[in-house]
Structure 1
Amino acid sequence: MEKTVKVTYLYNSGFVVELGTNALVFDYYTDKADCLSDILQKYKSVYFFVSHSHFDHWNPAIGKFSQNVRKYFLSYDIHNMETLPGEKTVVMNEYDEYKSDMITVKSYSSTDAGISFLVSIEGWNIFHAGDFNWWHWKGDTEKNNAFARNGFLKQMKKIAGMEADIAFFPLDRRLEEYCDWGVKEFCRQTNVDNIIAMHNAGRQAWPLKTNASDGRHTNVWSPELSGETIIIKKDR
């Protein structure tokens, strides 16, 4: 079992996770620090994950990395996949599961487009929320915000009790003082050791302080600049 992983921030909700002999790439759409190619050259086993079809999460250019890619895991709402090799592409619906001797991938629903992922590999559980969040927008109607709240809490019932070493979760400052409602509730109902804030492209990080459901401290990393990295040690 790998005891540490290295995480590199690409942009928005895009990250690379390096662990052991594998590299995981989540929601790449741009690489402002131009670091992805160099990272992936070190690995023969690479997995890409695309949570949904929004332009800031999905870029067909990920097909250019196919030589080193073992699998592409794509949400069901992505249709323009001509750049990807079909034999390496797995399209996932909500609540699907993919298993191999190397990796297990479970999908969950979202409160926006597409899906979220729970990835188990080399003894690590890694959750990427995609655009799953409590999207409470200041100035929106009471009806719309109630709908957003109900949708979020309904999905949390499916996720409650999840154990993860790392969870990538939106902490988008455009929601202003409501931006951490979703991640705090997520941490309250799950057991997550490390939160990595995302979907905050080009904005100052929010100073999040939160704890896991059983009172354990949850580490928080809120990267701001593309190319920033962190080393995470396994706590469980």
Structure 2
Amino acid sequence: MKVTFIHHSSFLVETDSRYLLFDYFQGELPDMKDDKPLYILASHRHGDHFSPVIFQLAKKRPLMTTFYILSSDIWKKHVPEDMAKQTAFMKAHEKKEVFPGMEIETLKSTDEGVAFLIHCDGQTIYHSGDLNNWYWSSEGDDWNQKMERLYNQELSRIQGVKIDAGFVPLDGRQEEGFFLGMDQFMKKVGANIVFPMHCWGDFSVIGRLKSMECSKAYRDKVAEINRDGEEFQI
């Protein structure tokens, strides 16, 4: 499996038989083989996770080799008429084979839309979208405790699943709570390798997490991202 960090929460994953492009809205994409289908997933409608520009990507590839899996909160009117047959929408807590050879399970985001758990080509891939423990000191204890409870309820749905690659927010804007979602994911679910995302260009949060005592058991599994376009071979 090859993983390319595109920008923000967007990654391109190449497996044996397909490409998976997550939450693309801007950034330079690497060259892709025309004989491999491209599946473009958008976890929710926020502008830093979805843009109609994704439908322009199909025009650069052979006919019927680009497909879309979109969260149901994204308006259907965004989908061009000629792309409708190549587009599927998913709600939270669905599990189905959306396209042949690719089973997808969704979780309910603690913000908007869904998180994706994907099984294909013998690999299991998790992209959380904006499913995270969104701790904000300004919100107060009641709000933050509810957020933590909802986040852990969702993680419980995939506890015990062996995940090959995970993509999880690590957002420095959360100040002292920046690490909570990642830490709880790795301790409750885990992954062979986890890619921090939603860092808003501040990759120093990765080193901060890895230097904390709480990450001792899993810090070697946290990928160190330094720039857009960085590639990782798993």
Please, what TM-score do these two structures have when normalized by structure 2? 0.87
Match of 1:225 among 224, 227, 230: 227
Percent identity over the alignment? 29
The separation in 2 between residues aligned to 1:217 and 1:201, in whole angstroms, is: 21
- Structure 1's 132 and 103: CA in aligned 2 closer, same or farther, altered over 3 A? same
What letter corresponds to residue 120 of structure 1 in structure 2? H
1:103 aligned residue: 102
The aligned counterpart of 1:45 is 37
Report how far residue 186 of structure 1 moved.
Answer: 1.0
> Equivalences for 1:94-173 in 2 at 5 Å?
94-99=92-97, 100-173=99-172
The range that moved more, 79-88 or 192-201, is 79-88
State the distance in 2 between where 1:134 and 1:158 align.
15
Alpha-carbon offset, residue 28 of structure 1: 0.3
Structure 1 stretch displaced more, 72-81 or 96-105? 96-105
Which of 74, 83, 86 matches 2:84?
Answer: 86
Shift of 1:218: 5.3
Summarize the Cα distance change of 1:226–1:42 in structure 2 as closer, same or farther, 3 Å threshold.
farther
Letter in 2 for 1:14: S
SS of the residue corresponding to residue 187 of structure 1 reads helix
Superposed displacement of residue 161, structure 1: 1.7
- Residue equivalent to 2:191: 192
Letter of the 2:43 counterpart? S
How many residues align? The count is 221
SS at 1:91's partner residue?
A: strand
Q: Take 1:41 and 1:195, find their aligned partners in 2: how far apart are those partners?
A: 26
Aligned to 2:174, what secondary structure does the other structure show? helix
Gaps of 5+ in 2: none
The one-character-per-residue Cα deviations of 1:98-153 (angstroms, maximum 9, x if unpaired) are 31442111111111100000111111100000001111113322222122112112
Cα distance in structure 2, aligned partners of 1:51 and 1:186: 18
How many Å separate the matches in 2 of 1:56 and 1:48?
Answer: 15
TM-score (norm 1): 0.86
- Rounded to whole Å, the distance in 1 between the matches of 2:34 and 2:137 is 44
In structure 1, C-alpha distance between the alignment counterparts of 2:3 and 2:12, rounded to whole Å: 6
- Root-mean-square deviation (Å): 1.9
Instruction: Render the CA deviation track for 1:56-115: whole Å, top value 9, x for unaligned.
Output: 000111111224544200001000423370001010001112314421111111111000
- Residues of 2 paired with 1:113 and 1:170: CA distance? 14
Q: How much does 1:43 deviate?
A: 4.5
Please give the alpha-carbon distance, in whole angstroms, between the structure 1 residues aligned to 2:105 and 2:139: 33
SS at the partner of 2:53? helix
- CA–CA separation in structure 1 for the residues paired with 2:131 and 2:44: 11
Distance 1:89 1:174 in 2: 34
